[in-house]
Structures are given as structure tokens and as C-alpha cells.
Structure 1
């Protein structure tokens, strides 16, 4: 039985990883990350509501240090703390449309990234920190660009 964090999000989906499964990596969050995942799920509920109630397809949530290293994640990744999720909302629209809708909302996020035209990264501020509402886009060969934008060129 999936362990519910909120009405529409479970712990299982926020820790699922094909890389962890294939590589035998334990991706079990500790107590602090578990608390953060509950907060993340609550914000993802806000996103779901903003997008008209469509399902969010989570491709990455919590990453243990070993998993983060295996996928080439940043050493400072919010995924390590249970404060970030990568997702799409195909029943809402494109990744760009989804990211733009979130950026235009009042949702309290720390970082929103339109990544490679393939998924949205939503990161929260650590508990007690003020969310920066930083909006970025990244594409193959560009590095991070300011704003939620379409691929240049």
C-alpha cells in the first residue's frame, strides 16, 4: 500500500528511482528529508490545483547522496534534502507552458527550472529560509539561463 503524504502524492512516488533499483542503491530518506517531502507534497498539491487538477508525473524526488552521485546531480541539489521534484503535467500542456503557469502563480518555491524542454524542476527553500522564486531554463549546451524561456535559436 502506498504511503500517502497528501491526497495525491505518496512517499513511494517521491523516492522511486530506476537508477536506484538498477544499481541497488538505498534511497530511503531520513527523518528530516521525510518532513521536507511532506512539505514538498503539499506544494505539489498547490501546483496540481493551479494546473486544473491534472496529474503530475514525478520523474525524480528525493535522492540519497549515493543516488545523487549516480545520476550526476549537483552536490548542493535540493533533491538531497527532499526539497525538490522533477515532473511533467502532459494533460495540462508542454513543459514550458507548465513552468510558465507556475512562475506566474503565487506558489512559494525557491527555484523553478525549465530543464531541457523535458521536465520542470521545482525546488523549495529549506525550512526557515525565504523562498527566492528563482526562475531558470537550461538546454543542451546553454548552461542556466535567466527566466522561463523557450530554447534559444
Structure 2
């Protein structure tokens, strides 16, 4: 295992059942690995903000073929290793996580409360090196994409 930080490894950022099933090579380039290391360090700050609750990453880096296969946005930060989707059950619901992060000092680029049917998660993106984080907060669900957090 390639440890990035105390609680995060390269493997959990690139693991994908869809890639495995579809035979897609989801290996990141060295430049993307640099971004994933930054994302792992950011996730450590998120973990602290959540009282040390463990974070389970469900989606991290996606190569272009994988991103297309799972219906990801064409300009998704996942493509650059700058975003991950996660839950932290020991802290609370994805909505509670989003509320906590939104109110925090953390300089995220994009925070999205996402729902697809019964599946709910947090999408968290960081800005590219040298770019100013937008601190954009959105909800994506059956009603579309809306600004702010909506249950």
C-alpha cells in the first residue's frame, strides 16, 4: 500500500469496482498522484473537523474512460485527482457532514450534497494548485443541481 497520510492511501483513491468489472485501467499519472496527495492531506483536515471520524471514500480519481462509464461530468474534478466522494458514518449523515464542512474554516473548492435514489454521499473538491478555492456549496438530486444545501 502507498500511504499518502496517516489515514489515506493511494489505493483507496483509485479503487473502483466499475473499472474492475469493465476492465478499465484507472492508474493515475504522476501529476495526478501529486493532486491526490494534496487531496489526502485535505481529507485529514476534514477528518479533524469531523471529530476524527473515519472517512470512507467511494470514488476518488477517475480516468477519462471510467468517468464516461459511470456518467461523470465531463469537467469533473475527479479526472484531475482533485475530488472524492465519501461518507463518515461515525460522524453522521452526509447532510450533517456537509453542514459541518460548510461552516468550517476549510478552503474547499466544491462541496456537494448528492443523492441518487437511496444512495447519499458527500462530494468534496479542492482547487488546483495556485487557484483560489470557490467554496461553492451545491445539492445534486432528483430535482437537479441547486445552490446551497437542501434536504
Q: How does 1:1-153 map to 2 (within 5 A)?
A: 2-116=1-115, 118-140=120-142, 142-150=143-151
Shift of 1:138: 1.3
Aligned-partner Cα distance in 2 for 1:136–1:68: 20
The C-alpha deviation readout for 1:52-96, integer Å capped at 9, x for no partner, is: 111101000000011001101111000000000000011100110
Shift of 1:147: 0.6
Shift of 1:118: 0.3
Aligned-partner Cα distance in 1 for 2:72–2:15: 16
Aligned-partner Cα distance in 1 for 2:107–2:122: 15
Gaps of 5+ in 2: none
Q: Which secondary structure state, in structure 1, belongs to the residue aligned with residue 122 of structure 2?
A: strand
Q: Which secondary structure state, in structure 2, belongs to the residue aligned with residue 58 of structure 1?
A: strand
Aligned-partner Cα distance in 2 for 1:3–1:60: 17
Aligned-partner Cα distance in 2 for 1:144–1:82: 22
Aligned-partner Cα distance in 2 for 1:148–1:129: 24
Aligned-partner Cα distance in 2 for 1:36–1:92: 26
Aligned length: 148
Shift of 1:149: 2.0
Aligned-partner Cα distance in 1 for 2:149–2:56: 20
Length-normalised TM-score, structure 2: 0.96
Superposition RMSD on alpha carbons, in Å?
0.8
